[in-house]
Amino acid sequence: MKTKKQIYSKITLLLSLLLVVTIGCESERALSEDVVLATFSPSPDVYIDGFSSGLEYYPYLNSKFEAFSVDTEEKYKGSSSMRFDVPVEGDPAGAYAGAIFRDDNGGRNLTQYDALTFWAKATQSAKINDIGFGQDFGENKFEVSKRGLQLTTNWVKYVIPIPDASRLIQEKGLLWYAEGPENGEGYSFWIDEVKFEKLGTISDIEALILEGDDKVITSFNGVQTTIDGVSATFNFTDQISQTISISPAYLTFNSSNTSVATVDDFGVVTTLESGTAVITASFNDQQVSGSLTINSLGAFSHAPIPTQDPANVISLFSDAYTNVPVNYYNGYWAPWQTTLSDDFTVDGDNILQYTIFNFVGMEFSAPTIDATSMTHFHLDAYIPGPIAGGREFRVLLVDFGADGSYGGGDDTRHSTTFRAPTLVSQSWISIDLPFSSLTGLGSRSNMAQLILEGGDGSKIFIDNLYFYN
């Protein structure tokens, strides 16, 4: 699951209150040389016939809270196991099963181990979407995930390598998982004997950033870009290799030109001034495959600040107004669309960026928008590259009709085409479409889609999408 929201089932205030009191009383006193710094438990156990000391269960938001239980009937060893019941598609109690198991005693020192191990089985052959450790509902700094973990109907031991145990001095996230229905159907799986071990049979082979690609992007001062696609592959003595997704914090990053761009421990790259910088990384002193080249154009030219009264605006995308719910800003409509999204934020200003642009569809149908009281539709577009002769840019607005659904037979649309001299390069183009000229729209009571067409495979920036009167 690409996105996971979380809830807390308990709140602890005592530690923070003690901290405030301690700081207030001791703020003027220097630390004594006799002070012993806090150390954290090296206990390897997560679940061995019950929760280890300090372990707590925190399900994700919108997951099935009751998906987890302790099972005393089915177990690999001992008296009990962890049971997970994945819901069927459409289960009103939750769309999926997912949670973290966190050490609330302050965390564990896991520096002496090299793997998380456990035994597991399921009621059917299935693949767990994500399972690993390092999620704590905080920074999740050292998160690890094994994606697509294959389960069978027999008990099998699984091993998830620790990328760099020296970093896990105080790890709270001891186990996490997220799994949805298999082909729409629910099933159950069990996990037992969950613990960290020192196997001594694991060696790292390689690591990747950006999935191993050498990526080149255009940036501006103040833009932050996060390095993703980070993984590491490990080898076991039986010649079996395993690839896991890992947090960028396990890597050491480098910028070839820190005056142009810097990179922090989390792989967040910040563009500072015009020029070029190449971001690379190493893992356990070995060069990582993949790089990010930042070509900064310097200061960003922002779109004109909207001046319409918020009371007379229905906004789809603008930092100047409160936006209504939007299903998506890029539907990735197959098979003809080539357009990808690479949105960015500069100086607090959010920008939609489309690359390899030929066309893109945006949908806002849940709910549809009643724009009958609106008189215009507005958008700002910026084309950073040259404009070829004869290039067109089309803006299509779609109403889903009285049934409020796509393809119901009463959909209507209108397309407006722009060419030079309206289309210019490296300058914001402000477009205001009066509904009085959009004669193809049979109604405006169920507006649901905005489609932009006419790209030539280059880039385009979009901002301030809204209806107004």
Domains in the chain with CATH codes: 14-27+35-197 (2.60.120.430), 202-296 (2.60.40.10), 310-468 (2.60.120.430)
- The two three-digit tokens of residue 17, written as one number: 């209150």
The SS3 call for residue 279 is strand
CA 204 vs CA 208, 231, 243, 293, 414: distances in Å: 12, 11, 10, 26, 57
- pLDDT of res. 23: 34
CB 342 within 8 A of CB 355: yes
CB 231 within 8 A of CB 283: no
- The two three-digit tokens of residue 247, written as one number: 């947090």
What's phi and psi for 152, nearest 5 deg? -125, 180
- pLDDT of res. 355: 93
Length of the chain: 469
DSSP string, 121-150: EESSSEEEEEEEE---SS--TT-EEEEEEE
Residues of the chain with pLDDT under 70: 1-38
User: Residue 217's beta-bridge partner residues?
Assistant: 294
Strand pairing report for 55-59 and 68-71: unpaired
Q: Which amino acid is at 232?
A: A
**The Cα angle at residue 352 between residues 334 and 414, in degrees rounded to 5:** 60
**R_g of the chain computed on alpha carbons:** 27
d(CA 242, CA 224): 31
| DSSP-assigned letter for residue 436 | G
